[in-house]
Amino acid sequence: MINIDVNTKLCAVIGHPVRHSLSPAIHNAGFQSLGLNYVYLAFDITDVESCLRGMRAMDNFRGISVTIPHKEAVIPFLDEIDPVAQKIGSVNTITHEGDKLVGTITDGIGTLNAFHRAGVDLNNKKILFLGAGGAVRAVAFTFAEKVQPQQITILGRTPTRLERLMNDLKKVYPHIKFQQGYLHENFEPYISSHEIIIQGTPAGMAGHSNEKLNFSYNLLTPQHTVLDMIYRPLYTELLQKAESKGCKIITGIEMLLEQAVLQFELWTGCSAPLDIMRKTVEKVLK
C-alpha cells in the first residue's frame, strides 16, 4: 500500500486517450516492490505546454511517459534531448533533473534489450520491419545507431510516411544498407531472406480483425526470430504460427516492459524488479 505524503515522488503517463495504458500498473508494482515513495498516474491531456509548465513547478514531479499523440509535441518545451531522440524526432520519456526537463526515447533501446534478453544477436543480421509508423521509426533508428545490421528493410502502407522514414534513415546512416517495399505488394521474398522480423502494424490487434498480414506462414523457419509489437492479444496469430514453425518469438509485452524498465531506472536510480512488473502486466492482460 502506497502512503502518499509531501515527499512522494510523482510519475505519470500523458496522452490522449490514456485510459487503457498499462504503465500505471507496471510502474506502481515496481515502486511498491522496492518500497519506494513514488506513485504513477495517468493523465489524459491535450495541452502539452501547460502540463510541462506544471511539471517544472513541482519539485516532486519526477518523470513522465509520453504517448500518442504528444511524442513530437513535447519537444519544444524541453531543455535537453538525447541525440538519438533528436534524430528520431520524438520523445517518450521526460525526466525532471534539477531545473531541467530532459527528453529521451526508450522504445528502441527497450526493443534492443528484449532481443538481448532472448539471446538474439542483431549484428550482421537482415532485419525486416512490417510497418513504418512511429514505433517502427524509433526502433529502426536505434538499431541503425546501436548495432551493425547487414541490412534493414522496411515495408510500409503509406507512401509518404515510408519515404520520409527511409530518407531520414539514409541521410543519418549512409553506411547502412536500406531497402523498402509495400505491404500491399508480394513481400514473401523478404520473409525468406531476413532472419529478424518485427511486426509493427495493427494486424492481429484486438479490434482489428479485418487487417491481415498477406504472406504464407509456411515461409517461417527455425532460423527466424519474430517480434510482434502488439500485446493485446499477448500471443497474436503471427506469434502462434511462428512458434509452431520453430521460430524464436518475442511478445509485445517484452518490448513494453523493457522500455518501462529504462524509465523506472532513470527516475528512481534503482534497478527495476522486472519479474514483478512482468507478472503484474500479465495478470492485467488475462
Give the span between the Cα atoms of 278 and 271, in whole angstroms. 14
Bridge partners for 100 per DSSP: 97
Kindly state whether residue 27 falls inside one of the protein's structural domains: yes
CB neighbourhood size of 115 (10 A)? 24
For residues 242 and 279, membership in a common domain is answered with no
For residues 240 and 258, membership in a common domain is answered with no
For residues 204 and 233, membership in a common domain is answered with yes
Kindly state whether residue 2 falls inside one of the protein's structural domains: no
- For residue 166, the model assigns a pLDDT of 98
For residues 93 and 46, membership in a common domain is answered with yes
- For residue 1, the model assigns a pLDDT of 64
Asked if 127 contacts 143 with a C-beta cutoff of 8 angstroms, the reply is yes
- For residue 104, the model assigns a pLDDT of 98
Bridge partners for 61 per DSSP: 10
**Entry field: residues in the chain:** 286
Owning domain of residue 72: 9-105+254-285
Kindly state whether residue 1 falls inside one of the protein's structural domains: no
Conformation bin of residue 159: beta by default, left when phi > 0, alpha when psi is -120 to 50:
alpha
Which residue has 531543455 as its cell numbers?
79
CB neighbourhood size of 276 (10 A)? 15
Q: The CATH number of the domain where 208 resides is what?
A: 3.40.50.720
Kindly state whether residue 43 falls inside one of the protein's structural domains: yes
For residues 113 and 188, membership in a common domain is answered with yes
232-266 burial by CB neighbour count: b if 16+ within 10 A, else e?
ebebbebbebbeebebbbbbbbbbbbbbbbbbbeb
Kindly state whether residue 159 falls inside one of the protein's structural domains: yes
Q: Which of 71, 87, 125, 126 is catalytic?
A: 71
Give the span between the Cα atoms of 96 and 73, in whole angstroms. 17
For residues 84 and 101, membership in a common domain is answered with yes
For residues 155 and 246, membership in a common domain is answered with yes
- For residue 2, the model assigns a pLDDT of 72
Kindly state whether residue 30 falls inside one of the protein's structural domains: yes
Concerning whether 71 is annotated as a catalytic residue, the answer is: yes
Kindly state whether residue 3 falls inside one of the protein's structural domains: no
- For residue 67, the model assigns a pLDDT of 96
For residues 210 and 263, membership in a common domain is answered with no
Q: The CATH number of the domain where 270 resides is what?
A: 3.40.50.10860
Asked if 143 contacts 152 with a C-beta cutoff of 8 angstroms, the reply is yes
- For residue 272, the model assigns a pLDDT of 99
For residues 204 and 274, membership in a common domain is answered with no
Asked if 250 contacts 260 with a C-beta cutoff of 8 angstroms, the reply is no
Rounded mean pLDDT for each run of 10 residues along the chain, 286 residues in total: 88 96 98 98 98 96 97 98 97 97 98 98 98 97 97 97 98 98 95 98 82 92 98 95 98 97 98 98 92
37-75 burial by CB neighbour count: b if 16+ within 10 A, else e?
ebbbebeebeebeebbeebeeeeebbbbbbbeebbebbb
Give the span between the Cα atoms of 197 and 191, in whole angstroms. 8
- For residue 207, the model assigns a pLDDT of 76
For residues 100 and 116, membership in a common domain is answered with no
Give the span between the Cα atoms of 64 and 263, in whole angstroms. 9
Conformation bin of residue 98: beta by default, left when phi > 0, alpha when psi is -120 to 50:
left
Kindly state whether residue 70 falls inside one of the protein's structural domains: yes
For residues 29 and 82, membership in a common domain is answered with yes
* Domain total of the chain: 2
For residues 112 and 74, membership in a common domain is answered with no
Which contacts qualify for 176-179: CB closer than 8 Å, 24 or more apart?
176/144, 176/149, 176/151, 176/152, 177/150, 177/151, 177/152, 178/151, 178/152, 178/153, 178/154, 179/151, 179/152, 179/153, 179/154
